[in-house]
A and B are shown apart, each in its own frame.
Chain A
Amino acid sequence: MFVRVCEIMAIPKAIIRFMPEQHDVRRALDDAMALCRTILPAGQDDALGNAQIVLAEALNNVAEHAFAQLDLVEARLTAKLETGRLLVTIRDRGQAMPGLRIPEARHHDLSGDPADLPEGGFGWMLIHELTDEIRYDRINGVNRLRLWFQLTGSGEGPRLPQ
């Protein structure tokens, strides 16, 4: 049931089809990272690390939305080098984001009883923190999520709290 096509051509892109099943998300992420590694210059381990965390969350979201429909997911992922930034675009025909908006980062209160610590809800926060810019739109039933990552040595990037 698992179908996967990964094409790396003049315009780098990966067409990633996967069943909405988590092992397939793992393979899709590996394909996406192989694509990013192909187009990034050397010395961008930090940007690659950020992209891996963000794309894992984004692809899991795509799979989750498809779970609701019990359909084959086809996500098309392209990556492109811009001035000082990496742009990764994910297109899919799954459910639209609620309100056609990118969910905001949720910041949890960790100060209470350890028994109340959150076990989820970190995904969008990681996406917001590790990207330089995010845009989402939906045209003719196709979700388009664009994620920009700052490259090392090109000015201000996302900063980790010290």
Chain B
Amino acid sequence: MSLSSTIENETRVISVDSNRIDAAMAVQFKEDMRSETAQGPDRVVLDLTNVEFIDSSGLGAIVASMKQLSRNQKLDLAGLTPNVQKVFRLTRMDTIFTLFPTLDDALDGQRA
């Protein structure tokens, strides 16, 4: 398991403990996301602060994690490092997800 999960401000916060999300772990990541989001708050924030690198398979796994949520749930992303942000920007996936600079920003956004 490469994810850890808590509930803060009625938000499911899932942190990626690995420093990359790549082809080698994409399938496991998607399955772990499914079990972490199977129940609980509607808002899910994926904290990517520790992730230094993501490849196209990893990006696909994050998109798949969003698509497998129930209709009321929403997945936001926080703490994208520069190279991860670059992949989101080039694929225009930054227009699909709401991105927050830090996890704190994501949780403040919830309060606002």
**Contact surface of A with B, Cβ cutoff 8 Å:** 22-23, 25-26, 49-50, 52-53, 56-57, 60, 108, 110, 114-115, 117-123, 125-126, 129-130, 160-161
Are A122 and B59 in contact (CB-based, < 8 A)?
Answer: yes
Residues from chain A with a CB closer than 8 A to the CB of B107 are none
Q: Give the CA-CA distance A62 to B66 in the complex, in Å.
A: 29
Interchain CA distance A117-B97 in the complex, whole Å: 12
Residues of chain B within 8 A of A125, CB atoms compared: 90-91
* 13 additional A-B residue pairs with CB within 8 Å, beyond A110-B92, A161-B92: A22-B22, A49-B82, A56-B55, A57-B55, A60-B23, A110-B93, A110-B96, A117-B67, A120-B56, A120-B60, A122-B60, A126-B90, A126-B91
Contact A126 B56 (CB under 8 A): yes
8 contacts between A and B (CB under 8 A): A53-B55, A57-B55, A60-B23, A108-B91, A119-B61, A122-B59, A122-B87, A126-B56
Q: Which of B56-103 contact A (CB under 8 A)?
A: 56-57, 59-61, 63-64, 66-67, 82-83, 86-87, 89-93, 95-96
Kindly count the residue-residue contacts between A and B in the assembled complex, taking CB atoms under 8 Å apart: 78
Q: How far is the CA of A138 from the CA of B66 in the complex (A)?
A: 40
Nearest-CB residue, chain A, relative to B58: A56
Q: How long is the Cα–Cα vector from A13 to B56 in the complex, in angstroms?
A: 26
B1, CB-defined interface residue at 8 Å? no
**Interchain CA distance A125-B55 in the complex, whole Å:** 12
B91: A residues at CB distance < 8 A: 108, 122, 125-126
Decide: A56 and B22 in contact? CB cutoff 8 A. Answer: yes
Q: Kindly list chain A residues whose C-beta atoms are within 8 Å of the C-beta of B67.
A: 114-115, 117, 119
Report whether B55 and A60 are in contact in the complex, using a CB–CB cutoff of 8 Å: yes
In order of increasing CB-CB distance, the 5 nearest A-B pairs are A22-B24, A119-B60, A122-B56, A56-B55, A49-B83
